[in-house]
Chains A and B, each alone.
Chain A
Amino acid sequence: MYYLTKKEDVAMDFKTYRNQPADELSDYMYKVAREDNMETVYERFAKQQPQCAFGAMGVCCTLCTDGPCQITRKAKRGVCGASADLIVARNLLLKCAQGTAANVYHARNVARTLKAVGEGKADYSIKEEGKLKGIASRFGINGNRTLEEVASEFGAFFIDQINSNDYEALKLVRVLAPKKRLAIWEKLGIVPGGPNSEVATALSKAMTNVNNDVVDLLLHCLRLGIANEYAGLFGITTMQEILAGIASPNQGEVNIGILDPEAVNVLMHGHQPLLAIKVLEAARDKKWQERARKAGAKNGLKIYGSLCEGQQIFNIASEYKDVFFGQIGNWIQQELVLATGAVDVLAFDYNCVMPTISEEFAPKYHTKLISTDKTIRQANVERLEFESDNAKEIAEKILERAVEAFGKRGKVNIPSVKHSAMAGFTTESVVSALGGSVQPLIDAIASGSIKGVAAVVGCTTVREFQSGRHIVGLTKELIKRDILVIGAGCCSSTMQNANLMSPDAVSEAGRNLASVCSSLGVPPCLSYGSCTDIGKIIQTAVALADALGVDVPDLPVVASAPEYMEQKAVADAFTAVAFGLTLHLSPAPPVLGSPTVTKILTQDVESLTGGKVFVELDPVKTADAIEEHICKKRKALGLKVDGVLAKK
């Protein structure tokens, strides 16, 4: 009824996969780790099986001590009286609130740094003056002020916005949102106030016996989604670009094979790239290269990126080619990277660091761990908490620890294959690659050379048979059908590892898409960077809609999170739905226990925002559905549709 797999496709698919990495280099490292008797994410997943379906379907409630309650064949209500619909909606709202809070936390950190820069208290400077002045002026911060004053005032303004009340509509939304969207949101009453108080309100609504209205709870998720975009994702990208520079296309190396056994290797891991920039700058100092050589590392000291932090450095890496040596990998790979024995320092900030890294892998493989965010507390980790005015000092310390750790290395085992990829795409760089306006892209879409655009974004998961297989499978199917793919987050890393983000990948693309990409010298899958750069993708979609004079839902654009895993992704999903995007999710989110919530998310919400969610576990069928949706939108726009669902 509400899923795309048809009833007749009941082919029992018990071809047993062994849950292990899809990517060849990761698989090599996986075997090394297993030989060393290390338990990885795959073993932990296997040991968790089978997992309770009540939780997986969202009908397990652990909020109060009358619980845990589950909605079952026998029990249609929890002890407090909550129905399946209510429990599912409450659980979903809680996850969405947590994700929003995390993104907003990140944005607040960046805003603080921007403010400190303006006040002259930070080790950073304004790299993108135009961008800062442009955005500040939209909020009335301009005039005769100096650049520093604008920075500090805009930083302060942003922090104020984050902390503002939920009974006043957020200025960021009022000013920045496209008019058509804003009108719809106002009609639905979901223009959010300050994200922090929105999150607090959400938590209050999800209390035992407070709100029984499923629709209201889900609308609140959409409010959070909008706040998540403007006070979170958009803020993060914009301010990070102001401080670190706008992404520009550049070629680099990726995957575990790029680690250098003859160098002191520093891995920057996490989500907030500002410190990493200082580390890169410090590593340029001859002193460190000398010290690394003296310690026995013939090739000096090298910095690598990992996870989303790496993607963000990769985006601006054209400036740092002398010290930045590439992007290592995605969430699943983090343990496997350490198993090389060649990572001397792993410096990380918040989100996506497995506890096993500090408790098992780092001690075993000599890696020195340094945490730089105040939210982190882990065993065996040195805490060097980042403040905007101590970045240089911390950077020096990180390098110092790396040189020290190099001497303690044991066995080193690095697969010898290297992959390369291109990164650094964003609204601005895409426009400049197109020669200054989005018109060529619109023309390409209008002519059918590019059938449509799919944003394949988000995490990686080991659920089902995925661990990257779904991302790669779906991406290959899409580009084969002339659908341009935009990647972000761990999806980008996965595509890079699969060689889909290098210009050579046009050989995998359909004829029309391949010719467009070859003429521009870009790959058929464009990396927008980290999972927080999903906001930029939405801005690109908005720019495209503006240029065409239509609303976002009218575009032949689809978003997909083929291996979504954690709470930030839930918040991002509601952002996409609020903006009117059709969103593919896999694995199934924990809502299937409530037919009402499932129906709202997969059908009813389309009549409200224009967006909706669909769940599909098979990559090829997902591509079919995405292509069908794109063709439908093309038809509505009066564009040429040839060979609907025709495969290459």
Chain B
Amino acid sequence: MKRLMVKLERCSGCKRCELACMEEHSAQKNYCLATLGAPEPKTRIFVESINDRPMPVVCRHCNEPLCVSACMAGCMQKDPVTGIVNNMGHEQQCVGCWMCIMACPYGVINPSFDVAQTGKNAFAQALKCDFCPERETPACVVACPNDVLEAEEIKE
């Protein structure tokens, strides 16, 4: 099972991973076009900071994911084979109840729209790292210029 590992000391805080993530999860697959179109592209990896030191906060695809327990629609599931926790592509659909956002201790799940910024209720959906199912290696890992992020094979 692959997981994102972070070599924190290498991080420069350039946020290329955020851009790559937005791009990968946009319909247009191009950041500039996606910014002009709708819905607003949103990242699922977050370069936060402690004081002014950068720190990428990533989804760990937990062994015992709280977001899965919290999901009242049953769409947030942990794949028994790959171990990826994801709320897309299952029989059930995300209804935007935000219970997973409340449950995730790392704060890496976000609503698909932002009231504070848009004031508009677009299609409400919880967004989280899906390990880029269409790619062999996640987009953020490919984009990282300093090899901070790595998709590492781990045992669960």
Contacts and interface: CB of A to CB of B under 8 A. Distances in A.
A72 B145 contact: yes
Contacts of A17: 51
B5 to A, nearest CB: 16
Nearest to A464: B52
A70 B147 contact: no
A50 B48 contact: yes
B47 A70 contact: no
B22 to A, nearest CB: 16
B13 to A, nearest CB: 4
A74 B52 contact: no
Residue from B11, B14, B52, B53 whose CB has the most chain A CB atoms within 10 Å: B52
Q: Is the interface of B mostly helix, strand, loop or mixed?
A: loop
Contacts of B11: 53
A49 B145 contact: no
Nearest to A45: B52
A72 B148 CA distance: 11
Interface string B31-58: 0000000000000000111111111000
A607 B2 CA distance: 54
Contact of A50 (B10, B52, B145, B147): B52
Contacts of A72: 145-146
A75 interface: yes
Given A70-B14, A73-B10, A50 B53 contact: yes
A70 B48 contact: no
B51 A463 contact: no
Interface residues of B, number: 18
Contacts of A75: 145
B50 A14 contact: yes
Interface string A34-58: 0000000000000001111110010
Contacts of B13: 50-53
B12 interface: yes
A49 B14 contact: no
Interface in B113-130: none
Contact of B147 (A49, A73, A464): A73
A17 B51 CA distance: 8
B15 interface: yes
A52 B147 contact: no
A87 to B, nearest CB: 14
A455 B14 CA distance: 35
Given A70-B145, A73-B145, A73-B146, A52 B12 contact: yes
A375 interface: no
A16 B51 contact: yes
Nearest to B10: A73
Interface string A55-94: 0010000000000001011110000000000000000000
Contacts of B52: 49-51, 463-464
Given A14-B50, A17-B51, A463-B52, A53 B12 contact: yes
Contacts of B49: 49-50
Interface string B134-148: 000000000001110
A101 to B, nearest CB: 30
A465 B51 CA distance: 9
Nearest to A70: B145
Interface of B: 10-15, 47-55, 145-147
Nearest 5 A/B pairs, CB to CB: A50-B54, A72-B145, A53-B12, A50-B13, A50-B49
Interface of A: 14, 16-17, 49-54, 57, 70, 72-75, 463-465
15 contacts: A49-B51, A50-B48, A50-B49, A51-B52, A52-B12, A52-B15, A53-B13, A53-B54, A54-B14, A70-B14, A70-B145, A72-B146, A74-B147, A463-B52, A464-B52
